[in-house]
Chain A
Amino acid sequence: MSELAASAASPEMGAAPLSGGARLARAFLRHRLAAWAALYLLVLAAVPLIGPHIAPHDPVQTDLARTFEGPGSEHWLGTDHLGRSMSSRIIAATAVALKAAALGVGIALVLGAPLGLVCGYLGGWWDRVAMRVVEAVIALPALLVAIAILAILGPSLTNAMIALGIVNATAFFRLMRGTALEAREAVYVDAARVGGASTPRILARHVLPNVAGPLTVQTTLTFAYVLLAEAGLSYIGLGVQPPQASWGVMLATAQNYLHQHPFMVAPPGLLIVFTVLAFNLLGDGLRDALARGEAPAGSRRRHRATSAPPDAAAATAGAMPLLRVVDLEVRFQAPRGGELTVVSGVGFDVEAGRTVGLVGESGCGKSVTAMAIMGLLDAGGQATGSVAFGGQELLGLPEPALNRIRGGDVGMIFQEPSASLNPAFTVKHQIGEALRLHAGLNRRQAGSRAVELLAQVGIPDASRRADDYPHHFSGGMAQRAMIAMALAGDPKLLIADEPSTALDVTIQAQVLDLLSALQEERGMAILLITHDLGVIADLCDEALVMYAGQIIERGPAAALLTAPAHPYTAGLLASMPQNQRGASLAQIPGRVPPAWGWPAGCRFHPRCPHATEACAKEDTTLRHLGAGRWNRCRRIGEIDVAEGWR
């Protein structure tokens, strides 16, 4: 799946280079609402600066002859119970609110962020003391703490903001501490230390830039919170004191005359609602813009695959192998519109009891092929062609029917065993679940069968270990448990996607041995996906070599490894160290092209030492060479494939 993520995320990079700022701005502007919110806040921010100059009246000047006037030409928003101009008062109140919020947020930022950064990075005693204090503050409702501080310092807006600043500093502290803790473990920080960078330098140059995004979002959201809190405190008489104007004060006044003059509530009320909303929208927009490479929010639903005509599949069912893949093509919705083909024209058979290896470098489409076979493509993925399992067409099969096959006749294991097991349940429970679902056992039978299976995959003391949770298992043991779970449905085919890649060589060898032993016992077929040609040599009867979404060579594993017929396979083998110290290894120039950059003609030709003009122009086909070997290279027979890599 990582290949997929890479190929889906990278078109951004393939495009014309944008500076970081421009890219951020573009991502941000895609959020219409957030852009409007930013514009609104910009206008609002201008109020404290130009407000006093455009306000037509003194906001505290009373005129008892003109109370409760409606909106008019002199007083745009009318007057209040003392005849003061509502428009002037709202301008003054906005200025007060923003200044106050800036003060509150400023205090929170200055107090919390540096402290969090230093405590998180240095850790130790100071960090532990600071954390206890922060926890104590968080345990109390923020507004109550503010009120308590005000009770000591006396009601005033500045005091209120100092109180809120202190309370909100904890959020900044925790954010910065968390990031700094993470950074302390980051390899690039180790690298900087090896380079001789001092601690202040590491904090400023390595840690801060990575926290700038979350910090901006946190600041925006705190602004909204502090504005609301200021209005609330002033409303109950603990913040701004009348006759000074503030949204909270104005709201409190308006409330007294709610029945006679309902309009008075509108200006301060709406301003509070819109401003807080705008800050929140801005925060959301910034967060989304900063989350680089994340998929846009949308359907996570798996796409239904479309199938080949059912008659064709049924007609050939008689002599079908266990799994027959014909002309499989997988397309994904590209992030910037259009479709991206990531696998094309893939076809192969897996006979019962045989092991077929699908090998290739990352980005060649091998994992996507496995996922497409199982109907597990991510959102936006679509598979066409034909995948027939035991004569039944799987593409286009409804989800419930697929679910019966997955985990039943077809078992699957993945690269990261600990990520594929649910940490919340015991291993026995999870295997038992699969048994109840696919073998129709009751709870007790499932439990004892789960223990049997765990013993079968070589977990020592299985009856006791079965009640452990996955995190109690080492990587190798967790992979054994995953295999036990895949065996629950007594599968005819096991699809293993890089089953040993995350493990140590010694443990990898044990997992490979377990797979071949299980295969001997049960006669199940294995489709093994790997990047390691050595693993192919160890386990597989047949090998399929993939490059840029196509199978470029196919044949019996031993023959293919000893006498590769495609220049790419030969290059891969020649680039692996072969017991010759100091000799220069073969280098395949360039890199695997991404799915949006597949070259015309033979997809390997730009990296191939044997390429001719024809290779760059004409498409290739997988041709049968006899003796079970297939090849895509047009120049086969004309060239010595090994020669090009010396």
Chain B
Amino acid sequence: MTTDAPPLLEVDDLHVRFRVRRGVFGGGSYTVYALRGVSLTMRAGETLGVVGESGSGKSTLGRALLRLTDLHRGTIRLEGQAVHALKGRMLDFRRDLQAVFQDPYASLNPAMVVADIVGEPLTVHFGLRGRERDAKTAALLDRVGLAADHLERYPAEFSGGQRQRIAVARALALEPRLIVCDEPVSALDVSTQSQVINLLQALQASFGIAYLFIAHDLAVVRHISHRIAVMYLGSIVEMGPAQRVCDQPAHPYTEMLLAAAPVTDPVEQRRRKALRRKLPASELPSPAEVLPGCPFHTRCAYATDICKQQLPSPSPVAGGGWAACHLLPAAG
């Protein structure tokens, strides 16, 4: 875990807000606090898993890093370069940071053939065209396990797993240092899901690419990640080595997420079901409100008075990482 080199990615106190417009005169407008002070670092070649419910801000985090959404405050540094201050097309930055999106049915333009989809970044960045570009594109397809004769086909002719391979090939085209994977396998069937996971791992092993792997499936995240960040209402509430976070969750929210995730082992599933019954059934509060105290206290089975008043600060957890919870034994 110790390194001398500067980290690949440093995010500090990142805030993102959306103004939701309602009505002609804006009478019912309100603000959604999508990210509320997220800080994290990533090393080269590392996979950081990000989990949380929908509305937790995990996808917004990915979009903010990709600069697809406006930042309210905070800094993002990629290899020391201040990404948050970039303007315009940010071509250099785009070369280092690429993305694979959730739904391969939506992320590939249905009106373009594979050669154009995968080759577009090559044209935009390096001005490659024609045969030169096609040769490079074919090599990319080969790398993700697709044949070169797929070049002139439309996305509709491929299965979900193959489409996601095409999306991965597009992300690889610029040889990025980091790929933001936003739910890359959740739209796929189980048997194709494993193909894409294996592919991502193999690519990491050969090229040292780092992944920010956003997903709601804890089993998948645990399998692929070195570390896991658990997000709740726009903040990271727990972060640490994947195995520690999954086996000894320190934050009650992580415990709740784990209990909710169904597994195929009937014995383990019975244990989770029993644990679930002890936890209160509740839903994510509106991300438009900022409650005082710990953001999770409205759903927490163990909440005390201090949880309703004071925002807990991160404290280290035995086994690595940290969690933001008042109920953790004091550090030391």
Contacts and interface: CB of A to CB of B under 8 A. Distances in A.
Interface stretch (B77-85, B105-113, B134-142): B105-113
Given A582-B201, A591-B159, A538 B262 contact: yes
Given A210-B109, A581-B242, A585-B197, A576 B264 contact: yes
A580 B170 contact: no
Contact of B261 (A188, A192, A505): A505
Given A187-B101, A575-B191, A562 B265 contact: yes
Contact of A534 (B156, B262, B276): B262
Interface in A1-39: 13, 17, 20
A92 to B, nearest CB: 42
B264 A537 contact: yes
Interface stretch (B28-36, B117-125, B311-319): B117-125
Contacts of B257: 505-506
A415 to B, nearest CB: 14
A579 B221 CA distance: 10
B129 interface: no
A557 B270 CA distance: 13
Contacts of B116: 205
B53 interface: yes
A373 to B, nearest CB: 23
A572 B275 CA distance: 27
B198 interface: yes
Contacts of B256: 506
**Chain A, interface SS category:** helix
Given A191-B170, A537-B262, A585-B197, A210 B111 contact: yes
Interface in B164-210: 167, 170, 173-174, 189-195, 197-198, 201
B54 to A, nearest CB: 5
Nearest to A530: B262
Contact of B264 (A192, A534, A571, A588): A534
B191 A361 contact: yes
Interface stretch (B3-11, B12-20, B91-99, B321-329): B91-99
B108 A188 contact: yes
A611 interface: no
Contacts of B305: none
Contacts of A20: 154
Interface stretch (A168-176, A255-263, A396-404, A507-515): A507-515
Interface residues of B, number: 78
A361 B195 CA distance: 15
B281 A510 contact: yes
Contacts of B53: 504-507
A103 interface: no
A313 B226 CA distance: 58
B298 interface: no
Nearest to A564: B264
Interface stretch (A195-203, A297-305, A325-333, A620-628): A195-203
A474 interface: yes
Which of A476, A506, A533, A588 has the largest number of chain B CB atoms within 10 A? Answer: A506
Interface in B207-246: 216-220, 222-226, 242-243, 246
Interface in B275-317: 276-277, 281, 283-284
Nearest to B202: A584
Nearest to A477: B283
A535 interface: yes
Contacts of A512: 262
Given A20-B154, A187-B103, A188-B108, A577 B197 contact: yes
Given A361-B190, A581-B242, A591-B192, 12 more contacts: A187-B102, A192-B120, A212-B111, A504-B53, A504-B216, A509-B259, A534-B263, A537-B264, A575-B193, A578-B219, A581-B225, A587-B198
28 contacts: A186-B106, A187-B106, A188-B107, A190-B68, A190-B107, A191-B101, A191-B167, A194-B98, A195-B173, A195-B174, A196-B91, A196-B124, A197-B124, A474-B283, A504-B284, A505-B261, A506-B257, A506-B283, A509-B261, A512-B262, A534-B264, A557-B266, A577-B223, A581-B223, A581-B224, A581-B243, A583-B223, A592-B189
